[in-house]
Chains A and B, each alone.
Chain A
Amino acid sequence: QTVVTQEPSLTVSPGGTVTLTCASSTGAVTSAYFANWFQQKPGQAPRALIYSTSNKHSWTPARFSGSLLGGKAALTLSGVQPEDEAEYYCLLYHGSNYGGPWVFGGGTTLTVL
């Protein structure tokens, strides 16, 4: 069964920079995994931030960016704001994977402190 791994929790100071990563048990994440990133706040539905590794939606704040880093998908927040405190999930495409083509990471709880 494919496992997608994210840091369980990270803490960042307001105005700081933090990078969240997303790794696949199948090997190095490439553009073919079409990494998507979502933000979720308590009691709310997920909100899309990044698609296909590094593309921003029209509503995505400029301080969010996506990339590939050391064989993983990465989400970097530069100039973190208090409202960025949330759960962040990556979603990777695994093609004809036994467990299903799309797999979420376990999520990263980002604390702004």
Chain B
Amino acid sequence: EVQLVESGGALVQPGGSLRLSCAASGFTFSDYWMHWVRQAPGKGLVWVSRINTDGSFANYVHSVEGRFTISRDNAKNTVYLQMNSLRVEDTAVYYCGRNLVRGSSVWFDPWGQGTLVTVSS
């Protein structure tokens, strides 16, 4: 069974740091791009970051650039999101997702169950 399990969410003060993890199982992890998206309470989904299959390339949404870093360990089947200089507006459920790019076929599935990050003093 293909599965993604996020962890690492917590309550943190503004300016603090947190590292999220997403453990993958049931598929060849190194064949897929991985993404993080987030959802603030009662709000819509926002794309946050992506990393390519070997970890040599990454993108970020402008609002987190320079503060967040995505990385992956293909030996551990895990993708990470290091979040520094956290702001109140970073409060959200963070989901990781698997992304396959094959020619003109680009799809995302599954998404994990999410992990809650709360930034508050």
Contact = CB atoms under 8 A, between A and B. Distances in A.
A102 B110 CA distance: 17
- Chain A, interface size category, equals 20 to 34
B100 to A, nearest CB: 9
Contacts of B60: 100
Interface in B18-71: 35, 37, 44-47, 50, 59-62
A31 B107 CA distance: 13
Contacts of A87: 44
Interface residues of B, number: 23
A16 interface: no
A91 B11 CA distance: 29
Interface string B101-121: 000111111111110000000
Nearest to B45: A104
Given A46-B111, A104-B37, A107-B44, A99 B62 contact: yes
Given A45-B111, A89-B45, A100-B60, 11 more contacts: A34-B104, A45-B95, A51-B107, A57-B107, A89-B44, A99-B62, A100-B47, A101-B59, A103-B47, A104-B44, A104-B46
Interface of A: 1, 31, 34, 36, 38, 40, 45-48, 51-52, 55, 57, 87, 89, 91, 93, 98-107
